[in-house]
Each structure stands twice: as structure tokens, then as C-alpha cells.
Structure 1
Amino acid sequence: MSGRLRGPGAGVAGGDASGTGVDPARVVALTEREEAVFAARHQRCGALHERARASMPGGVPMSWMAKWAGPFPLSVATASGSRFTCADGVEFVDLCLGDTGAMTGHSPPAAVAAVARQAARGITLMLPTEDAAVVAEELTSRFGLPQWQFTLSATDANRHVVRYARHLTGRPRVLVADACYHGSVDETFATLDREGRVVPRRGNIGPPVPPSATTSVVQFNDVAAVERELSTGEIACVLMEPAMTNVGIVLPEPGYHEALRSLTEQHGTVLVLDETHTLCAGPGGMTAADRLRPDVVTLGKALGSGVPCGAFGMTAEVADRVRRSVELEDVDVGGVGGTLAGNALSLAAMRATLQQVLTPDAFAGMLPLGARWAEGVAGVLADQQVPWHVTRLGARAEYAFAPVPPRTGREAAAADDFPLQTLLHLSALNAGILLTPFHNMALLAPTTTAEDVDRHTAAFAAVLEELVA
């Protein structure tokens, strides 16, 4: 696909057992130094966090926010475009962008104006507005799927689609990739143990049933495994990202998507592509860029410039089968939808985002910045002879601690090093740069500049030089 780059780092430095090329003791020492710098620079953020601990577990409004690098998370005062300012008045270049939720840049003026207008004339109505058809038509033109429904998140979209797939096929199981992420959909929190058995993923909280009862798992890029699972006749749908993104970026090998399409058609299985993160590949995500032919596409986050929203698009055949098989009397009680789904405010935000913010012209600027970021990091890795690699997917790129890009989610997860990742995030924060948490990943918005990218390259070079000295 155009706009993708793999740039492995060259050479090997150090000799640590982890294979990252850096000394773990050096990581510990530098982390302690960076934590002290962070705490001294962000005393008001620290005080706000201490206050919050009295009323919120971990002092954060959602538990995963406690995992940010540093002794406490930053508290944001203002955000605009590709920058935000914390409570201590320190400005940051934001290369996280709400992990895609603010891929537009923070509060783009067109979306802010549309939201303000709609808020003044009605936020949620349980009735459609003109914006609904406009957004559906725009998504059809981008993704090629003619029928759309709207939700409050990509999680909702994925959950609803799984139910429809089971309903249409009469089959019980969902097929996902090992180490996948599709929001908080229960069926997707499954992995394979050493014997190849389906088991709960580490950290899976309160699964309603063992995932082995609902889910089959394969390694990404493993066509033979997909064929084996589909041949059981039990798989209602394949739910996958076109490229894995949440365990790191894992790109599809040549022919993988063609095989997925062929096998799902052969076995009567619904093919669902989750483009929530891979929208970074272009205006129509990887579906348009790689001319993919899914039965269903799911989307979320970036569509509304940060206003909660999601969507799923269906082929005419799937939409017709749903329409004919669900009685009108039952459409509100089947587990698909929600009172706030398709609300007027979300649709106003989506219309403005698609028509005025995440436009083809915007992507024409974002994609080269993704290449610039990846090439800058790859150059630093080569200069320092560190055995890491860079992978890019459109306007998103990351580096990871292995010499070559992974071909499966399991390989990507095995290459992680949490203490090293924490240090690199802390170092970036102290240089005024926010990366996507839990990855070494950057996302480039329409408001990101070449200077922002080069600032990261310089900061990355500085910390890596200290690590391998």
C-alpha cells in the first residue's frame, strides 16, 4: 500500500540479555533521573493528582490513566491543534492525540463551530437529523459500503456487528488475531497459551464466560490457521484490524487480505475490518488504500474530532439480510443500539470532521509527515547501531525493540520492554513531547508541523546517545 514504510535499525549495540541493545541498569538510573526532573517541573500537576487520589482510584478518572509514564499523569489545562498545556503551564507537542480520538488535532475550529451550533438547537433527540444521511453518504464514498449505522464508540460498533453476524449465520464463534484490540468487546480478550489453547488474556477482568466458549484465535498473517478455524463451520465472523496497531504496528503480508476475503466467502463467514486506528492510512483507511472488500467496516474515535461516536458500514447484502430477519417490533430490544446512539451532536461533529477536517487534502499533508517521523527515527537507530526497527502505517509510525518488524501480534508483544518504554516516554515528556502511551508510537495530525517531527527526532537522538554510551 502507498505510504507504508518499514525501516529496520542497523547493527547491534551493547550485550544485554533482553536483546534491546541497552544496559538495564542504565535504564533504571536514567529513569530515576527523568522522574525527578518530571516531578520538579510539574508540581501543580502532582498536587492535583494527590487531591484526586482521595476521590478516584489511583487519582484518575479511568484506571488505565494510572499507567502513564512518570510518578503521576499530567493534568491538562488547554489543548489546541497539535499542542496542549499542562496545569503547570508547560506546553507539549502532542504526538499521541488521544490515541486517535484527536487525530484531527485538538478542537478543530470547524468541528467546534458545528458542535456549538447543534448544542444550541438540540443534543440528543432519538430522531434523525439531516446530518445523518450526509455522514452516511460521505462514509459510503470513502469506504464503498452503502449502508451505515451510528454508535457512541467503536467498541459499540464491534459489539453490535458481532451480534448481527451470529444472528445471520446461526454460528456461535468469533475469530480474532492473537494480541488484538477491539475496545472492550468481551469476545476479543482471548489469547493462545503455549499449547495453542484459547485462554483469557492477561488482565482480563471478570469475563462473563471463558473466552474458549465464544472465541477462536489465530496469529495475524497465518492464512493456514484461518482456514483451519473456518473449516469447523462454527465461525460467525472474522473480526480483525487490516493492520494490527494496539500491540504495535503489525502490517499484513502480501496476499493476506485476499486470502481472508476468499476464505470467508467460501465458508459463509462475515468479514469485519476494524478501521478505528487504521484510518491513519488515508481518507478511506486501508479499505480504500488497499482496495479491500469487507462485509462490514467499523469505525470510531477520530470521526467526531473527539466527540464520542462510532459507526459501522455494511454491504447491501448484509444490510438486507439484517432488515429481513429482524422484526420491526424487536429492533429496540435485540442488544443493538442505545438511547444516545446516532445522537444529533455526534453526527454534527462527524459531518464537520469528514467534510472540513479529515479531508483528502489533510491526508496529503499528514502522510509525508508520517514518513518524515519514521525516517528520522530510523536514521537515529542506524547512527547509534541499535537493533530496533521502525514501522509506519500512513500518518502513524512507531519504533520497537527488535531488529525486524513482527509478522504476528505475539512477536510484537514479545519484543516489548516495559521499563525501557517507560524511560523513553519520560524522556520525551521532559523534552516537551507526548507519545502514545503503552507504545513508542506517534500519530501526525493535519496541524502537526515538520518542526514538531524534527523536535522528536532530536530528543530521541539525545536519549538514545545516553542509553548506548
Structure 2
Amino acid sequence: MGEMLGGIMIDRLRACRGDQELMYRASRPVSARLARDARDGWVNGVPMQWMTDWPLPYPLFIESGAGSRLTDVDGHDYADFCLGDTGAMFGHASPPVVAAASAQAARGFTHMLPTQDAAVVGGLLRAAFGLPVWQVALSATDANRFALRVARAVTGRPRILVFNGCYHGTVDECMVELHDGHPRTRVGLLGEYRDLTAGTAVVEFNDLPALEAALASGDIACVITEPVLTNSSMVLPDPGFHAALRRLTRAAGTLLLIDETHTISSGYGGYTLGHGLDPDLWVCGKAIAGGVPTAVWGMTDAVARGYEAALGAKPPGHSGIGTTLAANALSMAALRANLEQVMTPANYAAMEARAERLADGLAEAIAGLPWHVARVGARIEFIFAAKPLRNGTEAKAAHLVELEQAVHIGLLNQGVLIAPFHNMMLVSPATSDDDIAQLVAATRAVVAGIAG
């Protein structure tokens, strides 16, 4: 038997990948022309580097998106389960968000002053997510960066703690990892001249003894974590992990920041409401305003008082918190519409039911291979490992890039789009039973092709 990868023969995998690339090229001549035209003026021919992470001979250019569907410039229609890799989790061009953004656009995009929506949105955030005091940013990266800065100001401590395999956008101090059990700045991080481990501790997710030992140093201002690791092949928390995390951080005088930018898929109020978490700080970006660039960060009254005291005591000068376009009028209008009319319990219930159906269908489609399906609400992955993962090291080992890319281009040629990172899929309020049936059938066909 030849060399294997994730239960698949590599020679067969590569042959299938080659066939899929030929099929892609033959059926997308307009994307090919646009890709040639775009080579001048952009780094690697794209306006943002992640667009080259799709496993394609050249980028797929999109004409339009509506609900759960995308249409490319060659006229191909796709069932979209990538949904802007969470940014469009509630569907493309959601009518309430489009209406609110269009109405605000006629009144101006940004003023660096609050609009009437500000008097409403704070209450909507409190009602949905529990924390009493809020701020708005343009991205979850910004929100996490600002929240961590506030945590240091409030506690007077210099360091933070992250879990190996975490994802918090491009916050510099979160870019650390464990290698053979030792912390280091993440490999591949461009232009970083500092040893980030000087300001950041890193331990494995679900490893409570290691967490307790790290907190014992007494200099950790904040633990920042996703409730479920979602960007390194999905890792679910062990039973009791979050309760222990909260107990240990409180005992150490350390604040707890829950980043729900991905796990907002969990249900109304996010994973935090659904599982009774009790963070000091809370962040969500990407989908919170229906895809309009926006993020929110909330805090307890105690943290807010500390933040206000720190602002009052500092000398004149930039606090390092906030950007000119944060909380702009367009973002606030979209945020209000999404919170009031789209992120509803009824929509979440429909997403949950269809996601469960999708997870069951995918489990049948991959049966017989050493893979499994993981899910957090409307977010689903099939993972190239036989058993559920417990930490970032196991998740990294399950990230089989060559196998993943062959699956992704195969699904794309079947008219289904999933995220370019891992095998992540999202179910939106607009996702239909037919969309789910199409994805399950496409997965079954792709698996049959590569597995034989």
C-alpha cells in the first residue's frame, strides 16, 4: 500500500486534486481573465492576502451574494457555507441590515459623534449578552487589543495568558504557541522583532494544572480565550473546564476575556449565555453587524469603573484605545438592525436545527474514514482525526493541508463553498434544506473520489 494521509492514499489524492484543478480552469474563464488583470497593483494579485488561501489555480471572483447563495463572475451558483468565514454568518445582504445601512448612507457614513442608534444599541447589547457596559470597534482584532489594554490598566499587571492554538485576530501579543511544550513566538509571523513570550504566557486548552501554575506568577492581567477553539480544528472544552477557568482566574486576581467572534454561532446570547459563563470582558466581531465591519466589547461595572478611573488619572495624550472610524454611523445602524431583527432566538433555533441535520449528514458521508464531525451551534467541521481533540497541539496535528485543499476544490466544483481554513462550515438563517442536501451530497461525492 502506498503512503497515506488521513486515511487516504496520497497518490490518489494528488491525482484527484489535479483533475479538479483542470475542471476549475475549464469552467471559469472570466475569473481567469480578472486574475490576470489584477496582477498589477496588488500583492500576489489580491487586495488582501487571505484571498490566496483558497486552494485554487487562481482566485474565484464573486459577482453577488444573497442569503445563503453566491454567484461568481462566470455565472456559477454556490451554496455558501463559508459565509465570509463568519462575517456573513447571518446571510448575505440581510434585508433588515441592507435597509438600515442604505437609510443611514443617505445621512452620512461617519461623524465621530454618536447618532440616535447609540441610545438604543447599548441596551440591546446588555439584553442579549449580559454585560452592562459596552464600546464599539471596527474589528474583533481592535476590540481584543483595546480590551487587553484596559485589563492591564485596571489590574496594574503586565502580562496576559492565551491557550495554544487560539485565534484572536491579529493581536500581536496573542501570537504565541507551544512547540514541544515550550512557548515561542508563532512561526510565520511577519516582521515581529520582539519575543512575545515575555508578555504572554501560553498553556494548552483543557489543561487546568498548567493554567493554575501559570496564574500563580501573580503578574497575569487577563486570560483571553474562545469558549471553543475554532481556528485550529475545533477543540471543545472538557466538562467543568470553564467553571474551573473562572474560579482560578478569580482566585489569582486575573480578569477573564471571552472572545465569541466565532462562537457567536452557539445560539442567542452566544456560548456565554448558553453555558452560563461569567466573563469580566467579552468581545464579538465579524458577524455582529451583519457583515458591516464592526465589533463590540463589553465589560462588567467593576472593569468599567477601573477603566474610567484610569482615563481620568492619565496625563494628556492618546490612550491607545479607539480609532477614528469606530462606532461610525453606518456601523451603528447596521449593528442595531442586526441585533433587533436578525440575531433573534427564532433565527437561532432554525440555524441550530439545520446545523444538527448537516452534522448528521456529514457524519454519514465520512463514515469509514478516521475523521469525525464537531459542532458548536451553527458552526460545523469535519476533522481529520478519529477522536475529538483536546488541545491546540492535537488540533495542529489534525490540520492536514494537502488533504484539506483537495476536499475544498472538489466541493467548489460541486457548487459548494466552505471556508478556506480547515473544514469549517456555517449555517445561516437563510440556509435551506436544499443547501444542506447539496453539501452532504457533494461531500459524499468528493470523499468517494479521493477514497476510492
In 2, Cα distance between the equivalents of 1:76 and 1:331? 47
Corresponding residue for residue 413 of structure 2 = 430
Corresponding residue for residue 6 of structure 1 = none
**Contact 2:233–2:399 at 8 Å: present in 1 too?**
no
Matched AA of 1:81: G
1:127 deviates by: 1.0
1:435 deviates by: 0.2
Picking from 375, 379, 384, the partner of 1:392 is 375
**Contact 1:15–1:22 at 8 Å: present in 2 too?**
no
In 2, Cα distance between the equivalents of 1:397 and 1:202? 27
1:467 deviates by: 2.0
Is residue 331 of structure 2 the alignment partner of residue 346 of structure 1? yes
Corresponding residue for residue 5 of structure 1 = none
1:35 deviates by: 0.2
Picking from 164, 184, 187, the partner of 2:150 is 164
**Contact 2:132–2:299 at 8 Å: present in 1 too?**
yes
Corresponding residue for residue 397 of structure 2 = 414
Give the secondary-structure state (helix, strand or coil) at the position aligned to 1:286: helix
Matched AA of 1:261: R
Residues 329 and 188 of structure 1, relative CA distance in 2, 3 Å threshold: closer
Corresponding residue for residue 75 of structure 2 = 89
In 2, Cα distance between the equivalents of 1:234 and 1:193? 23
Is residue 94 of structure 2 the alignment partner of residue 111 of structure 1? no
Q: Deviations over 1:130-176 (max 9, x none)?
A: 21232221111121100000000100000001111111112111100
> How is 1:245-394 mapped onto 2 (pairs within 5 angstroms)?
245-327=230-312, 333-382=318-367, 385-394=368-377
Q: Which sections of structure 1, spanning at least 5 residues, go unmatched?
A: 1-13
1:332 deviates by: 6.6
Picking from 52, 55, 63, the partner of 2:38 is 52
In 1, Cα distance between the equivalents of 2:119 and 2:238? 36
1:208 deviates by: 4.4
Picking from 59, 71, 74, the partner of 2:57 is 71
Is residue 21 of structure 2 the alignment partner of residue 35 of structure 1? yes
1:331 deviates by: 8.1
**Contact 1:198–1:211 at 8 Å: present in 2 too?**
no
In 1, Cα distance between the equivalents of 2:356 and 2:119? 35
In 2, Cα distance between the equivalents of 1:339 and 1:183? 20
Is residue 181 of structure 2 the alignment partner of residue 201 of structure 1? no
In 2, Cα distance between the equivalents of 1:421 and 1:389? 14
Matched AA of 1:200: T
**Contact 2:165–2:393 at 8 Å: present in 1 too?**
yes
Matched AA of 1:57: V
Q: How many residues align?
A: 452
Picking from 429, 434, 437, the partner of 1:451 is 434
1:80 deviates by: 0.7
Is residue 386 of structure 2 the alignment partner of residue 403 of structure 1? yes
- The TM-score, its normalising length taken from structure 2, stands at 0.98
Residues 439 and 32 of structure 1, relative CA distance in 2, 3 Å threshold: same
In 2, Cα distance between the equivalents of 1:341 and 1:197? 37
Q: Deviations over 1:56-78 (max 9, x none)?
A: 11111111211211101100011
In 2, Cα distance between the equivalents of 1:193 and 1:410? 8
In 2, Cα distance between the equivalents of 1:362 and 1:404? 31
**Contact 2:293–2:331 at 8 Å: present in 1 too?**
yes
Picking from 9, 17, 37, the partner of 1:23 is 9
Question: Which has the higher relative contact order, 1 or 2, with Cα contacts under 8 A spaced 6 or more apart?
Answer: 1
Corresponding residue for residue 129 of structure 1 = 115
Matched AA of 2:208: V
Is residue 177 of structure 2 the alignment partner of residue 178 of structure 1? no
In 1, Cα distance between the equivalents of 2:55 and 2:412? 9
In 1, Cα distance between the equivalents of 2:407 and 2:78? 16
- The TM-score, its normalising length taken from structure 1, stands at 0.94
Q: Which sections of structure 2, spanning at least 5 residues, go unmatched?
A: none
Q: Deviations over 1:350-393 (max 9, x none)?
A: 000111112111101000111111100111222xx111000011
Residues 163 and 151 of structure 1, relative CA distance in 2, 3 Å threshold: same
Percent identity, aligned pairs only?
46
In 2, Cα distance between the equivalents of 1:373 and 1:330? 55
Give the secondary-structure state (helix, strand or coil) at the position aligned to 1:334: coil
Corresponding residue for residue 220 of structure 1 = 205
1:466 deviates by: 2.1
**Contact 1:43–1:88 at 8 Å: present in 2 too?**
yes
1:197 deviates by: 2.5
**Contact 1:154–1:310 at 8 Å: present in 2 too?**
yes
**Contact 2:2–2:10 at 8 Å: present in 1 too?**
no
**Contact 1:298–1:313 at 8 Å: present in 2 too?**
yes
Corresponding residue for residue 222 of structure 2 = 237
**Contact 2:132–2:298 at 8 Å: present in 1 too?**
yes
Residues 197 and 120 of structure 1, relative CA distance in 2, 3 Å threshold: same
In 1, Cα distance between the equivalents of 2:63 and 2:42? 19
Matched AA of 1:356: Q
Corresponding residue for residue 138 of structure 1 = 124
In 1, Cα distance between the equivalents of 2:362 and 2:3? 22
1:329 deviates by: 7.4
In 2, Cα distance between the equivalents of 1:81 and 1:427? 23
